Amino acid sequence: MVSFVNALLYGVGGIVMAGMALLVAFQEKLVYVPVLPGLTKSYSITPSRLRLIYEDVWLRSSDGVRLHAWFIKLFPDCRGPTILFFQENAGNIAHRLEMVRIMLQRLHCNVFMLSYRGYGESDGYPSQHGITRDAQAALEHLSQRTDIDTTRIVVFGRSLGGAVGAVLTKNNPDKVAALILENTFTSILDMAGVLLPFLKWFIGGSGSKGPRILNFLVRSPWSTIDVVGEIKQPILFLSGLQDEMVPPSHMQMLYAKAAARNKHCKFVEFPTGMHMDTWLAGGDQYWRSIQEFLAEHVRKKKESETSGNDNDHHEV
């Protein structure tokens, strides 16, 4: 019996040590994937390939890291909403251009696409602290522009980008009009158990049943579940039910947490949507859901209102 207990303890200890080694060595490679296998870090295409009107924007994050972005307009004088788009963890902004092209057409908006540090042409190395700074730099840039309606800045984040966007939205209630989350996880702590199932007893978020003794090793926890309940702006949740990366239950939990305190939340499911193609699989329903959300919560003020008239009516 003693030998069995010793063997069990050694086995558990081995799992813990293996888990610690994996986390220390590879966690950034799991969370941040700036380069897709077989491709280079550089952009495969630019917006001009899709005949989009754009400008290259160079920013400095608050810690001095040089960042690159594309600011894409539907047409030169477009005063529609401006979407601040935060991408998934894998690849760079060039891989999202086809989706953004349709976004411009369907939503009649501008789109600002930021390359996180270490992605695309941006300098540095990705980390939660650093990318949070990068997102703030992008928002500060947009807030200071004179060629857009700065009262209609909408943050749109997919997967990792949703975690980034949630933090930015919470921290800037006066600069972000609304938030859109698509296929976003509750936290990296919870995703560790999804990607490496044998770790789920040692790593987890606030709802985990395990001892969570390895949580301290996670350098980028991105705990969206703790952030989303503090957001006061309207939130649209877009969930692909065939998501093979982030369990759809994560989006349901995020919605439940947010809606408990925020009455301006809406949840939309897409039965055939996977992690990367919900925008495509969702078809017209996908874009119509966003259009309706923007029309309700990100409305354009009438000229009489902006000139000082106390009129509460709005137009889309």
Active site amino acids: 159, 243, 275
Q: How many CA atoms lie within 13 A of 47 on its CB side?
A: 21
- Please state at what angle helix 188-195 crosses helix 2-31, rounded to 10 degrees: 120
In angstroms, the CA 171 to CA 263 distance is: 19
In angstroms, the CA 168 to CA 173 distance is: 9
Token duo for residue 146: 């004179």
DSSP state of 298: S
**72 forms bridges with which residues in the sheet?**
54, 111
The CA-based angle 80-83-85, given to 5 degrees, is: 165
In angstroms, the CA 47 to CA 6 distance is: 61
Closest-CA residue to 70 (of 78, 82, 81): 82
Closest-CA residue to 142 (of 87, 213, 82): 82
| HEC sequence for 71-86 | EEECCCCCCCCEEEEE
Q: Tabulate helix, strand, coil % of the chain (nearest 5).
A: 40, 15, 40
In angstroms, the CA 105 to CA 109 distance is: 8
The CA-based angle 143-72-220, given to 5 degrees, is: 65
